[in-house]
Amino acid sequence: MSEWHNDGSFLDLLGSRSSVIPAGGSALPDARGGFSEIHATTILAFHYAGGVLVAGDRRATAGNRIMTNRVEKVVEIDGGSLMAIAGSPAFALEMARILEHTFKYYRRSQLAELSIEGKLRILSQLLKENIPMAFQGIGAVVPLFATQDPESKESRIYFYDILGAHFEGVPFAVAGSGSLEVQGILRYLDRWGVSGKGLSVMEEREAVILSLRLLETASYFDSATGGVQVRETVFPVVKILDRNGIHTIEEDALREFYRTGVESV
């Protein structure tokens, strides 16, 4: 029986007992007798005056079919970390659950918070272990990760490729099939702003309204992005990471922001 050393690595503990990543993804038969994997898009994150906003639409598609408009694409990992998912929801949500347990395990076994670099490396490891599935066209995940320095309380945004490489997105990051439109708008606003105001000086209300406008714009050009489904009462998931931790913008507030900042403008 091999000896396992308690160095705070939950992934090593999992690896000594079982496979980390599930063997199959979420897929449906297509018209040709093959399979169309379910994908979730679009996600975004940007800095504003009070912290970081992370948002995602709620749509998941398989080929040209809309499977659902109620996917939760922004997941709280711990009190100071958020993961937004694009790609395969089955694999991405499994990764989010493993991250949550890994951070918790480290905290309890080492009596300390995992460093930002440690958190980034763990997500990179999960993505690298998923490469064989991604190269087969099944289970590709392209996440965004927002986290907070436990000492300075400074929030940071990172984006990943499917191979596990991570990059700091300053001052914003996007992913998913609707990301091209969103990226262009965020670049314009960050560089020139509106009436001389850039992203970094926006108040929370302005930031939330901007996120709704961005996802609405993406949905106009990208059929895989859900935007706001007013008749179904389905709004994007919008979460804030600031010096006080994480809080979710509730549906009633999103409805009011959409009515006054998107629909009526």
Q: Could you give the residue numbers annotated as active site?
A: 41
**Residue 136, Cβ neighbours under 10 Å: how many?**
10
Q: What value, to the nearest 5°, has the Cα angle with vertex 74 and ends 73 and 78?
A: 140
Do the Cβ atoms of 143 and 95 come closer than 8 Å?
A: yes
Q: Which two tokens stand for residue 202?
A: 């926006």
Instruction: Tell me which long-range contacts 226-232 makes (C-beta under 8 A, separation of at least 24).
Output: 226/57, 226/58, 226/59, 226/69, 227/57, 228/258, 228/262, 229/58, 229/69, 230/258, 230/263, 232/69
- Rounded to whole angstroms, how far apart are CA atoms 17 and 199? 46
- Rounded to whole angstroms, how far apart are CA atoms 74 and 81? 10
- Rounded to whole angstroms, how far apart are CA atoms 90 and 88? 6
- Rounded to whole angstroms, how far apart are CA atoms 148 and 245? 8
Torsion of CA 123, 128, 132, 137, to 10 degrees: 50
